Structure 1
Amino acid sequence: MQQALIELKNVEKKYEYGKEILPVFKGINLRIMQGECISILGPNGCGKTTLLNLMGGFAKPTQGSLVFEHEEILNPDSRKILLFQELGLFDWKTVQQNIAFPLIFQGLTDQEKQQRIEDAIHLVNLQGFEKLYPSQLSGGMKQRTAIARAVVNNPLLLLLDEPFSALDQQTREFLQEELHEIQRQQNKTIVLVTHDIEEALYLSDRIIVLSARPSRIKKIFPIPFSKPRDPALRHTPAFSQLKKEIWCCLREEMKR
């Protein structure tokens, strides 16, 4: 059996508020392979972001375990990067300085740092914008900067929490295509939380649909479309049919 990069074993999460206990999800079992792109869909409040936080080491499960590269996940580290909805760019730093920030404590030479920064800038097509500040950037350019900062350390796992939700449709689709190309070029493992079924279909190898809280994995949809994917795929009958099936599955849980 192929070795998983990250494995969730009977994961359960509860929050306690005084005498109140809020069960978020239970019995989550999932294996994610190196180079896979997995999308997580589910109704509001079902624990999608909490699941990313567990994978990133920012939270601990109530029961069960999460294993990354044969080791239990206990803390965040540079091998797995979580890109939050709030991008967290430093307003007082330029694009280049923002991208360089994760390299400060890596023990690299100046030449090595510069090479990584240049590679990240080229990867997201930010050439010519290096000296600008976040206030001078469009929403799409800010998102590219955040993605470049996330990949500059060459992490094994990218955890993305609705990264394009605040963008207009045209910019959103363009950045989806860029992320697809990054994943293909670097064989990145990506876990994406999104509410956009089309986004999940275009980017993913598998789509995980979570039930209403307390969440479980309701269904896993393997995505049959080969990679690399043409943007025109979005307009094909097969794409539309699978989108409809996923929406019906998701809608059942949203009505609960």
Structure 2
Amino acid sequence: MSEITNTADRICGIVTTSGQSISANANAEIKAELDGLAKKLANLGFSAKGNFSTTSYENVIQSELPTTLREVRECKLKIFEILTKKFVESEAKKEINSGYLIPAQDDIPENPCGNITENSVVLLYGSSASIASKFPHSIARINGKSVAIFNMNENGNIYIDLDIESADGRKIVSIIKNSFSINTNNYYSIERPDRSTIIVFDRQKTRVLDVRYLNEKAIRVLGTFRSDGHTIIIEQKSTIVDGFRLSRTCVKSAIEDSVDFNIN
């Protein structure tokens, strides 16, 4: 927050010497200060992908800061409040659009794999499940291409790499190492009700992805995964692979880069 405080100090110096109205020169100086703040925060790891909009900050400052506000202490407080509020909103938006999931504290549903060992995680696919002892771990591999790869970092957070396609083969969303890339012409909405859940709907309002990190030992996966003409549909009570319905199946793997369904 020191960078925001220092920027507020300098902006107030500009405002208090600019007279009864903020001149064009003062506007340019304010914008330069905001641009400089954005670069400094990016260097610290914040909003490095453009969530921090200096234009919106500049507009907020000019609209919310009364022209009669000249006392330096009040000016600094007002600017600090405006910048901090916008910064927090920007970071919250960035957090929502990040792909990593943190474990909730839900119970593990009854599943065909039974008890989970200390160093393992169960992935729940409807009434079926798999045990993963090492990551990365893929739901499926279709013609040699992994579909929906789950990774776990050193903090126990889950990262998902996958492409979600619509029935006509168009890409709806890509998730690559915790970042979303959206086809805005083909997706309906993304919901992050909390940091343990991600839900994606297509334009037909069909739920094409629903992943919840139930707890440190369990991940629940629902969705429709397509690639090269093959389709895997994971529903609440079953998993359908190219029309073949699976029920109460348990897959166990103790190797890295393991896969649950291999389709050629």
TM tier, smaller:
under 0.3
Which structure is richer in relative contact order (CA contacts within 8 A, separation 6 or more)? 1
**Based on CA coordinates, which of the two structures has the bigger radius of gyration?**
2
Greater strand percent: which structure? 2
**TM-score, normalization: structure 1?**
0.24
TM-score with structure 2 setting the length? 0.23
Pick the structure with more helix per residue: 1
